Structure 1
Amino acid sequence: MQFSFRLGPGEEFAAPPVDASAEPSPTEPVQLTLTRNGTQVVSVTAYAADAPLAHANTGLANGRYGVYRTTADIPADELASATHAQTALGDATVFTHPYDECTNSCKHWTVPVAVITVAHPKDPGFPTLVIAANHGEIDVDGLRSLLTRLAS
């Protein structure tokens, strides 16, 4: 997937470490992390349309994040309250979902997510781009602001 993004002050993209000895999977997600002054802001992920869905996108907690191959993977109650934003890449479905992390105590976040249906994907096998603030680092308005900085 090809896109460009106007970075703000102190922002950069980083890719997770890759095991060079591992055989890549054609359904493996492609992921980048946008950081600002060293702090994660959002993850940007492209999932293969035919990637296996390891879990339903409900009850997200303790490192189990949503996997949105297309908008069809958005739970019905979250889709019902979603809004839309037009981006340079295509229509974005913007919604929030709860996320928890618990050990001896729990922390709760409301995570803003945008599932962008790419109008002209270079690889039809990766039809969407997902942008999510996994620990609520930004709110929905902050996510919408990031969407305006995308370019095809």
Structure 2
Amino acid sequence: MDVILLEDVKKLGKKGEVIKVSDGYARNFILPKKLGVEATAKNINDLRLQKEHDKKLAQEMLEEAKALAAKIEEKPVVLAIKTGEGGRSFGSVSTKEIAKAVTDQLKLEIDKKKMVLENPIKTLGTHTVTVKLHKDVTAQLTVKVVEE
């Protein structure tokens, strides 16, 4: 019997695949547990339409991420930190502070978890922070750290 999987099944296949299994296995395991449906012409057509819809949504998300990346790379974000004698800083700038500054200055919402910062910024000057917006799109955010 041909079955369309609705979920990933270990050692059998991934969601959306059409697989051939024995009638008993399909009737007693896959169909009752809602892991798959019988591969009729209607169900195969529904699967094709669903895949096209998912592909369209993924393309729209990619376009939105590219547009957001362009906005991020346009302008720098300016942050002020306290410094002592000789330009030594008190504390550091973290992704949480950068995300808040982006929201305040650029009017964009960026999750702090999407920013890649190996070490917190502890020096004055211009720094570049990588922002992962999509699996295929990354942006370079310019952060200018000035003395308060």
Instruction: State the TM-score, normalized to the length of structure 2.
Output: 0.20
- Of the two structures, which has the highest relative contact order with CA contacts closer than 8 Å and spacing of 6 or more? 1
- TM-score scaled by structure 1? 0.20
Q: Hey, which of these two has a bigger chunk of helix by percent?
A: 2
Structure having the higher Rg? 2
Q: Comparing both structures, which one devotes a greater share of its residues to strand?
A: 1
